Amino acid sequence: MKKREEELRATTDRIQESIRMQCTRSAGPIDTHFLCSSVSIVEPSEPLLVREESTLEQVMEMLQQNRVGCVIVTDESEKAVGIFSERDYVLKCFGKIESSRTPIAEVMTPNPVSVSLDETLAFALTLMSQGGFRHLPVVDDDSRPVGIVSVKDIVDYISNSVLEDLLNNDF
């Protein structure tokens, strides 16, 4: 396990360095100024937080009431220790869990990949693409959740920016 974590860290460091270098050049169809912007530019949503002992039923009600796709699971010191999403429910719970009283800690994805507000959007998108997930917790230096960014947030930001530019452009 330790070797895997070291390999992941080395890969992450290599990706971050490549992104920093690429920020001085053009890269693909999206302006590098956008990709090199910090995650904070998309104004990450306030995350829904639940404790490890919360039940599956409580968490599903929160997701439904708040019309969101995931919650961040925290420990007693409010540090992010897991994430639970619609996908977790479908893959780990539906038809498999008999009790809605199951603690969320038993079905969450532990140790979620996260970013800080000053990470680049390119790095956040790379993590989501490589990891195959749509939500990325945003944490402070103490691993406490301060936001959540989704692929939809980024697409909405791009769409709104393009629309605003088109509406404000004199032809």
**CATH code of the domain containing 147:** 3.10.580.10
Whether pLDDT at 25 is above 70: no
Alpha helices in 23-100 (DSSP H): 32-35, 56-66, 86-88
Q: Is residue 121 part of a domain?
A: yes
Element (H, E) at 144: none
Q: Is residue 13 part of a domain?
A: yes
CA gap 126, 11 in Å, rounded = 11
Higher pLDDT, 160 or 142: 142
pLDDT given at position 9: 73
Question: Which residues, in sequence order, are CB contacts of 85 under 8 Å at separation 6+?
Answer: 69, 70, 109, 133, 134, 135
Residue 98 lies in a domain: yes
Mean pLDDT of 107-135: 93
Whether the predicted pLDDT of 13 surpasses 90: no
Q: What is the DSSP letter of 137?
A: E
| 67 vs 24: which has the higher pLDDT | 67
Predicted confidence at residue 1, as pLDDT, reads 56
Tell whether the model's pLDDT for residue 113 goes beyond 60: yes
Considering only residues 23 and 85, tell me which one the structure prediction assigns the higher pLDDT: 85
Residue pair 49/26 in contact (Cβ under 8 Å)? The answer is: no
Residue 124: exposure state from Cβ atoms within 10 A (0-12, 13-18, ≥19): buried
Give the pLDDT confidence score for residue 29 in this predicted structure: 54
Average pLDDT on 59-68 reads: 96
On whether residue 171 sits in a domain, the answer given is no
The model carries a pTM of: 0.79
Is 161 part of a structural domain of the chain?
Answer: yes
Pairing label, strands 70-74, 49-51: parallel
Structural domain count, the chain: 1
Question: What's the whole-number average pLDDT of the chain?
Answer: 87
Give residue 97's pLDDT band: very low, low, confident or very high (50, 70, 90): confident
- Predicted local distance difference test score (pLDDT) of residue 31: 65
Parent domain of 16: 2-166
pLDDT greater than 70 at residue 47 = yes
Q: What is the pLDDT of residue 41?
A: 92
* Residue 113 belongs to some domain of the structure: yes
